[in-house]
Structure 1
Amino acid sequence: MKFLIVDDNPDDRRMLRHLLSAHGHDVLEACNGHQGLQLVSANSPDLIISDVLMPVMDGFQFLHDLRKISSVPFIFYSAVYDGTRDMQLANSLGADGYIIKPTDPAELVKEIARISGKASTMKDCGLGDAEYLKKYNQVVVNKLEEQVRELEISLAERQRMAGELAAREQEFRSLAENAPDNIVRYDLKGRKLYVNPALERTLGIPAAELIGKDPGESDPNGTLADYHAALQKVIATGVGAEMLLVFADATGSVVHHEIRFVPERDQNGTITGVLGIGRDITERKAAEQALLNEQKRLAEMALELSMAEERERRRIAATLHDCIGQDLALSRIKLGMLARASLTDTERDILGNSQEILDRVISNVRNLTHLICPPILETAGLEAALKWLGRQMEADYGLRVKFTSGLDEKAVGVEVHHELYHAVRELLINVVKHAQTGSARLIAGSERDCVTIRVEDDGVGFDRGVVAQRHDSESGGFGLFNIDRRVSHFGGSVVVDSAPYAGTRVTIQMPLTSATETGTALQ
């Protein structure tokens, strides 16, 4: 069969053409009733499928004129004219069927076949021109009234939405124009649509000179390249972003702004622009810098205090050894000389007791001198002092210390010698107090650019997160926290590796250059 499709919608024509061609039919197409009449005269189709609402000549007029020259079966296929009055006019004009869009393709084919199968061989429209015009006008007027009502409803809805939009815009402007933050709104090309008064004051440029400017025009020198890159990324991805912007304000002062880019979207979720919000954090940055400077000053004071303590410790040790120790030794010699004199038994008992007391005092002074600053550290160096410390830990506390060394004595300054010695002593005492083990390992060595000393044990271990904030006041102020603080003053580091029931390993690393220079400067 040969079908003629008359419809001003090319998509509907394409759908019908593919559908009918798939069933073996030939298809002709026209975009309005006037073209349809021309194709009917030239091709004599077997069936016509026509829309109702079309330009030039609509479907009703097309059918009215067609029935004057042909009785070819005619089917209306429309989504606009679908009321009872519309269908009555179609039937009175001689239409063989009326199908309402949209219809399932399979059902559409069945309906076309059904209508074409019962179509009469000759249709008389039965309507004169006057009667046709009367009914046609009634249909058109009804349809126009429906359209007007729909338009009124649509207009009212648009007005309501426009009112809400205007209220939101007014609310936005009220907030933006009174906000202390800088606020700017960009379109999808990065052009400024709105800037608030705060931004005008910050830049010292009127809003009229900023609106509509793209990134290149508003930043000809490229000083805000990172800012524009972040903006373009938000436009491209629709994902918000934050950044820190440093620039000179209208007075030439350097200011710090915390920038946040927020994508704006329409009701369908499509990005329509980007809102930039900048907060001046210059005062906060200044306060942070002042705090850092104060912390640095306090650290320097703490270092000087630490060095002063160390110098005082060495002075006291020297006084104990050179003055008090010598005087006590001389006193013992004098008492020994007195023992050779003629004394009564009572006097000899008193002399013997005095010598025993003096021997204990000499021993205590010697131990105190070694505790404060062992002479071996001054005379023989760090390696010998650490080896001696290991023997003393076993003698005093029963802790067996296996010592392994490869130190380069010349690479370490005097002050660093003392700091490393006291740190190792404190770590070994911690093993005695907390590790619940009778042995430890002490490894000391010099690498290409640093000194490394490690104290290890196989004891009960501990939670590193807890010990990181622990200050052991019972250990004389040399807890892990204080060891780390003092070592860091020399440019070194302390690394603690431990876990419950997995032992502990504390590694101290001191840069050779930093250590030597610091030690020399503070001697």
Structure 2
Amino acid sequence: MSDSLIALAYYSIPITLVYFVRQRQDVPFDWIFLMFSAFIVACGTTHVMEVWTLWYPTYWLSGLLKAITALVSVYTAMALVPLVPKAIALPSPAQLEATNQELRQQITQRQQVENALQLVNEELETRVKNRTLELAQINEELKTEIAERKRVESELRTSEARFRAIFNSAAVGIAQVDTDGRWLLVNQKLCDIVGYTSEELQSRTFQDITYPDDLDPDLEYVHRILAGEIQTYSMDKRYIRKNSSLVWINLTGSLVREPNGKPKYFIAVIQDINERKRSQDIQLKMQERLQTLSSKLIEAQEVERRRLAHELHDEIGQALTAVKINLQTLQHSSNVNKTELPLQESIDIVEVSLQQVRSLSLDLRPSLLDDLGLVVALRWYIDRQTQRAGIIGEFVSKPLKTKLSPNLETTCFRIVQEALTNIVRHAKAQRVTVELWQQETQLHLIIRDDGIGFDVYAAREKATKGESLGLLGMEERVLLIGGQIEMKSVHQHGTEIHAILPLCEN
């Protein structure tokens, strides 16, 4: 029974080994498993023979099987001896696990490298694509720039041709002048103005043909424009023509600079103003004559007013006074009642006439102005006029350090006289103030009211048309002695007249 069980166990082991070898064909030395299987089968067969010989004594078969088992065992043992070192050299499970782990790490690293390479490759492809697009865009820009440059060059050629045409046919002289004054390029009009040919001008400087008295102001402008203080300048000056005659010109100069700011050359525009200057000289002389005549006229008016005032006061006034005295004497000495009423009426008429003569005399030329001076005359006149008009009048004056000339006193008095007349007639003012003071070499006179105001510009327009000469007369008087007058008026807020007069008359 034991031998049967042993035999059964021996037969099951080879079956398991053969199954294992067939399932794991990658196992090294699979033939040794087959040798072990044959050895175990042989051993199991010997146990079966033990059971057989127990019932059937065929010992020769049992011996044969044992001999075969011995051969298989010896052969297996002999084959196993050289196989042991090789089997020992096989890696252990830990080593296999470590090797597998290392392989997995290498695989992971390789995948990472491959991914990085893929990213680099994609980035490189993107860069190449972008660079290709950039190159294409740059190529298009270059084409556009080339086309634009060609267009600009064409426009420059057209502009240059247009400039040449304008330069040569301009109605004014045009020139390019070097910073040292040499003529670089001149047009025909400039040659006509100065009488030189272009070659003759280009061998000279502008200093050579400038009138000596006009050279320093011109050079001063040149220095200022080179220093960057001004951008352009304009002046009237004289050139010396080739025939030695003088010609008046208007010069406008500007500076052309290099991109780095360094001066390159001047552009000069020269206009012949000889005829204009001649006309201005004639006009100036005529104006001087008119001013002289106007001054003489005003002086004659004042002399005539002084004479009339003197005659009214001294001649007619005295005569009326004498008549009044005689009538009064006759009234007191007569006993005839019938003559009393006509005599009284005659006395009253003479009294009114006498007052009118005195008033007219004072209006024409107050004797106070000649006897006691401007300040006293103004104070008296302002009080008299404002009391008559029923407005508040104020005169403010600081002591004058300089004795005023009769002409200056007359001018100030007439300005105040005209201003107060206008205020009383038109301003509807409640208050008027007159101020007089001296500041260094100037005399200041201000007349200020709180009336309804007026349009200064419109009043001047009327004066030029002969409709209202009051303002024009004031301005003319001030200008004749070299002074200034300013009029400011605001609707419903009054008017201010400010005259500034020189103490030394021009």
TM bucket, shorter chain: 0.5 to 0.7
Aligned equivalents of 1:387, 1:295: Cα separation in 2? 36
Aligned in 2, Cα 1:113/1:387: closer, same or farther, shift over 3 Å? closer
Tell me what 2:273 maps to.
Answer: 281
Aligned equivalents of 1:278, 1:186: Cα separation in 2? 12
The Cα of 1:287 is off from its aligned counterpart by 0.9
Of 344, 350, 356, the match for 1:358: 350
CA contact 2:176–2:183 (8 Å) conserved in 1 = yes
CA contact 2:194–2:239 (8 Å) conserved in 1 = no
The Cα of 1:326 is off from its aligned counterpart by 0.5
Structure 1 residue 414 and structure 2 residue 378: aligned?
Answer: no
Tell me what 2:387 maps to.
Answer: 395
Aligned equivalents of 2:468, 2:164: Cα separation in 1? 64
CA contact 1:453–1:507 (8 Å) conserved in 2 = yes
Matched ranges for 1:222-371 at <5 A: 223=215, 226=218, 243-260=235-252, 276-371=268-363
Aligned equivalents of 1:357, 1:371: Cα separation in 2? 21
Q: Which one-letter code corresponds to 2:392 in the other structure?
A: R
Of 495, 499, 507, the match for 2:486: 495
Of 445, 470, 474, the match for 1:483: 474
The Cα of 1:312 is off from its aligned counterpart by 0.4
Q: Which one-letter code corresponds to 2:197 in the other structure?
A: P
Structure 1 residue 506 and structure 2 residue 506: aligned?
Answer: no
Query: RMSD between aligned alpha carbons?
Result: 4.7
Instruction: Please identify the structure whose Cα radius of gyration is greater.
Output: 2
CA contact 1:377–1:385 (8 Å) conserved in 2 = yes
Aligned in 2, Cα 1:245/1:359: closer, same or farther, shift over 3 Å? closer
The Cα of 1:446 is off from its aligned counterpart by 3.4
Q: Deviations over 1:424-446 (max 9, x none)?
A: 12212222233322221122233
Aligned equivalents of 2:204, 2:479: Cα separation in 1? 52
The Cα of 1:448 is off from its aligned counterpart by 3.6
Tell me what 1:372 maps to.
Answer: 364
Aligned in 2, Cα 1:255/1:325: closer, same or farther, shift over 3 Å? same
CA contact 1:457–1:503 (8 Å) conserved in 2 = yes
The Cα of 1:451 is off from its aligned counterpart by 2.8
CA contact 1:399–1:438 (8 Å) conserved in 2 = yes
CA contact 2:181–2:207 (8 Å) conserved in 1 = no
CA contact 2:427–2:452 (8 Å) conserved in 1 = yes
Q: Secondary structure at the match of 2:446?
A: strand
CA contact 2:437–2:445 (8 Å) conserved in 1 = yes
Matched ranges for 1:89-100 at <5 A: none
Matched ranges for 1:33-52 at <5 A: none
Q: Secondary structure at the match of 2:321?
A: helix
The Cα of 1:330 is off from its aligned counterpart by 0.7
Aligned equivalents of 1:330, 1:391: Cα separation in 2? 30
Aligned in 2, Cα 1:255/1:320: closer, same or farther, shift over 3 Å? same
Of 204, 207, 232, the match for 2:198: 207
Q: Deviations over 1:315-357 (max 9, x none)?
A: 0000001100001111111112222344543322222222221
The Cα of 1:363 is off from its aligned counterpart by 1.4
Gaps of 5+ in 2: 1-122, 133-146, 258-262
Aligned equivalents of 1:447, 1:229: Cα separation in 2? 35
Aligned in 2, Cα 1:232/1:106: closer, same or farther, shift over 3 Å? farther
CA contact 1:184–1:195 (8 Å) conserved in 2 = yes
The Cα of 1:282 is off from its aligned counterpart by 1.2
Q: Secondary structure at the match of 2:426?
A: helix
Q: Deviations over 1:180-239 (max 9, x none)?
A: 5334356999875643344334444433344588889999x99599479769969x99x8
Aligned in 2, Cα 1:343/1:502: closer, same or farther, shift over 3 Å? same
Aligned equivalents of 2:179, 2:406: Cα separation in 1? 66
Q: Which one-letter code corresponds to 2:410 in the other structure?
A: H
Q: TM-score, normalised by structure 1?
A: 0.57
Q: Secondary structure at the match of 1:471?
A: helix
Aligned equivalents of 2:392, 2:466: Cα separation in 1? 22
Aligned equivalents of 1:230, 1:472: Cα separation in 2? 43
Tell me what 2:446 maps to.
Answer: 454
Of 110, 114, 118, the match for 2:128: 110
Aligned in 2, Cα 1:355/1:230: closer, same or farther, shift over 3 Å? same
CA contact 1:470–1:481 (8 Å) conserved in 2 = no
Q: TM-score, normalised by structure 2?
A: 0.58
Q: Which one-letter code corresponds to 1:497 in the other structure?
A: K
Aligned equivalents of 1:439, 1:242: Cα separation in 2? 50
Q: Deviations over 1:284-318 (max 9, x none)?
A: 11211221221122111101100110110010000
Tell me what 2:19 maps to.
Answer: none
Of 366, 376, 379, the match for 1:384: 376
Aligned equivalents of 1:404, 1:291: Cα separation in 2? 42
Aligned equivalents of 1:399, 1:173: Cα separation in 2? 74
Aligned equivalents of 1:112, 1:444: Cα separation in 2? 87
Aligned in 2, Cα 1:380/1:432: closer, same or farther, shift over 3 Å? same
Aligned in 2, Cα 1:325/1:283: closer, same or farther, shift over 3 Å? same
Q: Which has the higher helix share?
A: 2
Q: Which one-letter code corresponds to 1:195 in the other structure?
A: V
Aligned equivalents of 1:475, 1:343: Cα separation in 2? 58
CA contact 2:207–2:215 (8 Å) conserved in 1 = no
Q: Secondary structure at the match of 1:403?
A: strand
Number of aligned pairs? 362
The Cα of 1:279 is off from its aligned counterpart by 1.9
